[in-house]
Amino acid sequence: MKASNKKAVSVKGKKKPVVAVGRKKQTASLKTAATKRKQIVAAGRKKQAVVARPKVVAKKKQAAPARRKAASKAVQPQAQFDFLKAPAPIPDSKISKTIRTDVVVIGSALSGLSAARAALEAGAKVAVIEKSTDIVYRSSDIGVINCLIDKQIGNIVDPAEIVTVIQDYYHGRTNGELWRYWAENSGAAFDWWLSLIPGYKLVGEDFPIPSETTEVYVRVPHWPHPAPYEPAKEHYKIYTTAHQLMPDMGNALRIVYNKCVEMGGKFAFSTWARQLIRPNNKGRVRGVIAQDKAGNYIKYIARKGVVLCTGDYAGDPRMVERFCPAVAGLYTDWIFPNKDADGVTTQTGDGHKMGMWIGAQMERGPHAPVNHSIGGPLGTDSFLLVNVRGERFMNEDNDGQIFSNAIERQPKNQAFQIFDAKWKEQLECQGISHGMRNAVSSSAQIGVTGGWTSITTEEEVLAAAKTSDTLEGLAKELGLPVDAFLATIKRYNEMAHAGKDTDFYKRPDRLFPVETPPFYGGPTSTALLVVTSGLVVNARCNVCDDNFEPIPGLYAAGNAMGGRFSGEYALAAAGVSHGTALTFGRLAGQEAAKG
């Protein structure tokens, strides 16, 4: 997963990510924000220190079930978190307009547009409420398996195998029925999308995609697999799931939006869903009350259902403290490009909150943050990493998310990727993990075609790295303690020559001595993109209450929906945040339309 790499705009001499929505390009550059990252991480660490500790309020002599309940409350001190308290219902006297429809979809991004289109195709009248000024999207990787393109290129994945690997990854805390559904239906959902775009162009990774175009290009990173890559020798299973819609998802999603409008979908932009309508928190969800930019309240009566496609909550620090404390304080708003019509980040967990207020169950933790790195100058390739102390800290050869997680736990959330003059030939024996590079191209165009590919260019690498003819000089360039750095290199080189990594067990054929000048090094850090956990749903995307009973008339998809991820984001199958938003958005729309 990555941010689009369209060029950042220069503001007062500094590079800043572009953060507009809709037709404006929605871009945030992971690569250009290293300095901002450092400040933010430092600020984040301070904030983390003030996360309140839960009060323990246990009563003696309670019956066993009651005692269990009290204990769980002690761990989850709801009272500290104001957002959990339902606001007073908006009275009818304040409603300026009532709209009656079959299905209301809240959110018009990937999951919401998929839900709206599916419900419209099922014959329902659909209204979509969106707090931004236009449709919302970011980036390009869609994780699906066995779509028509895969069949065409021979990229066939066994659903049973990938679901087992994913469930292992999450230690069984996710909903196996949902993953089976994704494995068996994500390819068809992607085909369904592309059926609206018959003129799409399937291109290779070395195809220079224009940055300004209305065409839709599709490419499959790391496909075909690089010749030296042998899956059987990999420690981490990696599946080729990501299908990139280029130059980003915008052109393709605009086509879905246009189709929804053509089918009669009614979109209200710059409109905030505020409260779900479920009198006394019993029975059906009957609709939603929204508010437009002028402050007018609009009541939407949904005869068949409401679908929450409101995205995640990473931008609400209190929600992160409560539900995803592992990344509390690590949020940065530069990486997430989308704002509502008031300029506030869209990822404020509105759907999660509105759902909980009317009795929906938030899934238990550990919730799953996507705290990502796209790596150093050579991506997440398995070159030597050192931390700010000049010390090595991990087996660098992994699936990409492990790369990020280990860096997140280092001082200052910071590492440096180190390599020498032989890096070009060493690229060829890398794996195909998320963010890995397998080849270098002489074409300067490759690096500017949008998204990243498994191919890099010399210009791109050198722009991200410091260079020196001596190791001591490189340490100074990177601001690392020279003695510690030299000691690390000495030890690493000894192990490389011996063909055995006795410190972290990296496989010998990816263990290269750093000894041929010039020497290179560049920074790599992490950024919290989203939190991919949400409300408990059943296999029909129907939101459930605390007793796991479906709440009639309420559905969720995308990051408002739970059951998909736990504690982690599985990069064995890259792009599945989008892939599940598409697949379950479609399912939620179909189910809501049934009423």
* Helix (H), strand (E) at residue 291: strand 287-292
**Which one of 3, 255, 302, 495 is in contact with ligand FAD (CB under 6 A)?**
3
Beta-carbon contacts of residue 102 (< 8 Å; ≥ 6 apart): 119, 124, 125, 126, 302, 303, 304, 305, 593, 595
Interaction residues for ligand FAD, span 249-308 (CB under 6 A): 272-273
* CB neighbour burial string for 532-548, b if at least 16 within 10 angstroms, e if fewer: bbbbbbbebbbbbbeee
Residue at 571: amino acid letter: L
Q: Does 535 help bind ligand FAD (rule: CB under 6 A)? A: no
**Which one of 129, 183, 218, 252 is in contact with ligand FAD (CB under 6 A)?**
129
- Tokens 């928190």 — which residue? 281
Q: Which is nearer to ligand FAD, 99 or 486 (CB)?
A: 99
- The closest of 138, 137, 534 to 307, measured between CA atoms, is 534
Helices (H), 437-546: 458-464, 471-478, 482-498
Q: Does 108 help bind ligand FAD (rule: CB under 6 A)? A: yes
Q: Which is nearer to ligand FAD, 346 or 417 (CB)?
A: 346
Helices (H), 209-359: 250-262, 317-323, 350-357
Question: Per CB under 6 A, which region of 129-137, 213-221, 420-428, 490-498 contacts ligand FAD?
Answer: 129-137
Q: Does 170 help bind ligand FAD (rule: CB under 6 A)? A: no
Q: What is the size of the binding site for ligand FAD (CB under 6 A)?
A: 42
- The closest of 84, 553, 593, 540 to 277, measured between CA atoms, is 553
Question: Per CB under 6 A, which region of 38-46, 57-65, 104-112, 116-124 contacts ligand FAD?
Answer: 104-112
Q: Which is nearer to ligand FAD, 22 or 447 (CB)?
A: 22
* CB neighbour burial string for 222-235, b if at least 16 within 10 angstroms, e if fewer: bbebbeebeeeebe
Interaction residues for ligand FAD, span 329-348 (CB under 6 A): 335-336, 340, 346-347
Q: How far apart are CA 562 and CA 362, in angstroms?
A: 8
Q: Which is nearer to ligand FAD, 255 or 273 (CB)?
A: 273
Q: How far is the CB of 343 from ligand FAD (least distance, A)?
A: 12
Q: Does 185 help bind ligand FAD (rule: CB under 6 A)? A: no
Interaction residues for ligand FAD, span 26-85 (CB under 6 A): 28
Q: Does 575 help bind ligand FAD (rule: CB under 6 A)? A: yes
- The closest of 471, 441, 469 to 455, measured between CA atoms, is 441
Q: How far apart are CA 108 and CA 186, in angstroms?
A: 20
**Which one of 32, 125, 130, 563 is in contact with ligand FAD (CB under 6 A)?**
130
Q: Does 581 help bind ligand FAD (rule: CB under 6 A)? A: yes
312 within 8 A of 530, measured Cβ to Cβ: yes
Q: How far is the CB of 403 from ligand FAD (least distance, A)?
A: 16
Binding site for ligand FAD (CB under 6 A): 1-3, 28, 106-112, 129-132, 136, 138-141, 143, 272-273, 309-311, 335-336, 340, 346-347, 350, 529-530, 532, 558-559, 575-578, 581
